[in-house]
Amino acid sequence: MLTDTQIQEHNQAGATALAEDFDHLALQLARRNIDIESLVARAEKFRVAVPSWGVGRGGTRFGRFGFAGEPRNILEKLEDCEVVFKLVRTTPGISLHIPWDKPENAAQLRAFAESRGLFIDSMNSNTFQDQPGQPLSYQFGSLSHTDRGVRQQAVAHNLECIQIGQQLGARSHTVWIGDGGNFPGQVHFRRALDRYLDSLGEIYRAVPETWRLFIEHKFYEPAFYSTVLNDWGTSYYCTRELGPRAWSLVDLGHHAPNVNVEIIVARLIQFGKLGGFHFNDSQYGDDDLDAGSIKPFQLFLIFNELVDAELSGVTAFDPAYMLDQSHNVTDPIESLITSSVELTRAYIQAQLVDRGALSKFQESNDALMALQTLKQAYTTDVSPILATARVRSGGAADPIGVYRSSGYRKATAADRPAPVRLGAGIV
Ligand code: RM4
Ligand code: MN
Ligand code: MN
């Protein structure tokens, strides 16, 4: 158990040090004409959804190493999500993956989440794996399969996800497909995309008026030569073809190494189709490492685009922030805590950019000072703002410290019998 009293005791113990750090930063920012209180208010409002699959142990195709206390079902996953939420307060929304999280009783699951201050945010379909008893295989694709029967089965699965989501009070549906080819010639590129769009159209028509449909592009994996929804341009084309409820989702790890993801974000904003994010970090591919762990400056630059759009009042701009990570060597609760803090950090740092000065340097082609303007914001340590925002909303100044001393993982290890050692991982 992790109690509010444990959190408050920790906060009290560190209160003087935090107040001193906060006052010091307030002075520094005041010199730059920045009101620290408005930043705390923004940090308190920041939200990012946690993936249900992120509280379990991820894996690779070589293996998966479970841990003691690992959640075994969606209710236990929500218990772990609640711990993250209690400590950081920015993560009440949960993304679900069907059939991994398929509820036996949707009303009960919804009540279970809501009684913990959580809600179901986005539904995610899975047509990249075959499920036991499934009549037709997805080995050669799903929504874009050459066989109409397979396409129909994949569409039906997505409709079921939406239906479950409606019972759970979800507000979006996210579709990522593994469709593609391993060899030149295997897939007819144009015909496959036509079939994909056709299937997606059926799903789109079932998306409730108040929901959004997110589609997620990815340049490779599991297909190693070509994928059907391979990049943001194709994603943009598809979401435009589909209509106003369809939006492009950017998973940071779904691009080739060195790709400028922030310009993709800016383009999708400008074209009115940026639906949201799957945040994570990577060195080589879809590594699904913790957000901000490898390329924190890139994360800042992405938020710089987001904040710039927010401040300039771009219409049709309400991106859904979600994490999509695979925790192979850490306690997933700790990774999710850290990642949500890193996102809030990048968001607040991006608020510090002197946009008037930046614009002036851009207009006068002063490249050096333009970069310096961004760097001034990026190198400001906003930790006291983040900690204060957490404390004021009932969370922990030092979330990892509280979590480690709470004994929560030990308790779950006792309550939840040891996991079965599985072979290959799935995500
Ligand atoms: C994919 C993609 C999807 C996620 C699956 C598990 O690579 O990122 O968002 O649902 O992994
Ligand atoms: Mn993703
Ligand atoms: Mn991925």
Residue with tokens 């309550």: 415
Residue in 292, 271, 269 with CA at minimum distance from that of residue 282: 292
Low-confidence residues in the chain, pLDDT < 70: 419-427
Q: Do 52 and 95 meet the contact criterion of CB atoms below 8 Å apart?
A: yes
- 425 CA distance to ligand 3 centroid (A)? 13
- Which residues, at least 6 apart from 360, have a Cβ–Cβ distance to it below 8 Å? 366
How crowded is the C-beta side of 171, counted as CA atoms within 13 Å? 10
Residue in 422, 344, 324, 408 with CA at minimum distance from that of residue 54: 324
Pocket of ligand 1 (CB under 6 A): 124, 176, 216, 251, 278, 286, 324, 427
Ion ligand 3: residues, CB within 5 A, are 286
Q: Is 314 helix (H, G, I), strand (E, B) or coil?
A: coil
pLDDT of residue 78: 98
- Which residues, at least 6 apart from 406, have a Cβ–Cβ distance to it below 8 Å? 1, 2, 3, 6
- 372 CA distance to ligand 2 centroid (A)? 33
pLDDT of residue 424: 45
pLDDT of residue 426: 44
Kindly report, residue by residue over 177-202, the tens digit of the pLDDT: 999 999 999 999 999 999 999 999 99
Pocket test for ligand 1, best of 174, 216, 217, 254 (most atoms within 8 A of CB): 216
Residue in 216, 368, 386 with CA at minimum distance from that of residue 292: 386
